[in-house]
Amino acid sequence: MKTVITGATKGIGRAIAEVFAREGHDLAICARNENDLKNFQSELQDKYSIKVIQKPTDVAKKEQVIAFADYIKSEWSQVDVLINNAGVYFPGDVHSEDEGTLEALIETNLYSAYYLTRALLPVMLPQAKGHIFNICSVASLIALPGGGSYSISKFAMLGFNKVLREEMKDKGIRVTAVMPGATWSHSWDAMKDQLPENRLMKASDVAEAVWGAYKLSDQAVIEELVMRPQLGDL
């Protein structure tokens, strides 16, 4: 099996890569930092005896997303799972956030998934099976305080997922929106000393939920997977 994961070296993306590698999937991964990618590639291959291909990619740049897709297609003749995970979070309010915040968040959190999905669907459609996961957020469902343009971008990502789900229904490709609440990752590093460990979810919890959704039969799909810390949103 062949799985593509964006933003794969940190947080939820890294945890998902670990789970799919553990289960024997070959991986195509991208992130911005080349050293992080090479180190993770070696780690996964040594630990799980799988094949990992990687390409440094700034998903905010369309041409780099397309180059990543072209590289995958030059190496693989099939894609079984696409996980659009890459994203960025800037806190703020619409009326006061920095000029350009919306554009930056839309480019990374939405356009990257749109461009990569369009580029890889010509490989997936002839297979008449596969699974696309779009990592959204609980901010796709409710306007969180201080969410600003981040929430706008994640609402848009959920809209993209809904449209794609309808389009892929009769083509054998399952589509799932994953909407995690607060999850420990580098984004929360500044808060580690202020919050108890159990106040946020583990990235591995999200990864295992994604794997569980993937392992359903081809006759079933989890359209929207919402996860929150036991104590609720922060």
Instruction: Give the catalytic positions in this structure.
Output: 150
On whether the CB atoms of residues 129 and 171 are closer than 8 A, the answer is no
Helix/strand/coil percentages in the chain, nearest 5? 50, 15, 35
d(CA 107, CA 204): 27
On whether the CB atoms of residues 203 and 183 are closer than 8 A, the answer is yes
Q: How far apart are the first and last CA of the chain?
A: 37
On whether the CB atoms of residues 132 and 176 are closer than 8 A, the answer is yes
Tell me the longest C-alpha to C-alpha distance in the chain: 50
Neighbouring residues of 196: CB distance < 8 A, sequence distance ≥ 6: none
Order of strands across the sheet with 2-6? 52-56, 26-31, 2-6, 81-84, 130-135, 173-180, 224-227
Burial of 27 (0-12, 13-18, 19+ CB in 10 A): buried
Q: Which three-class secondary structure state does DSSP give residue 140? A: helix
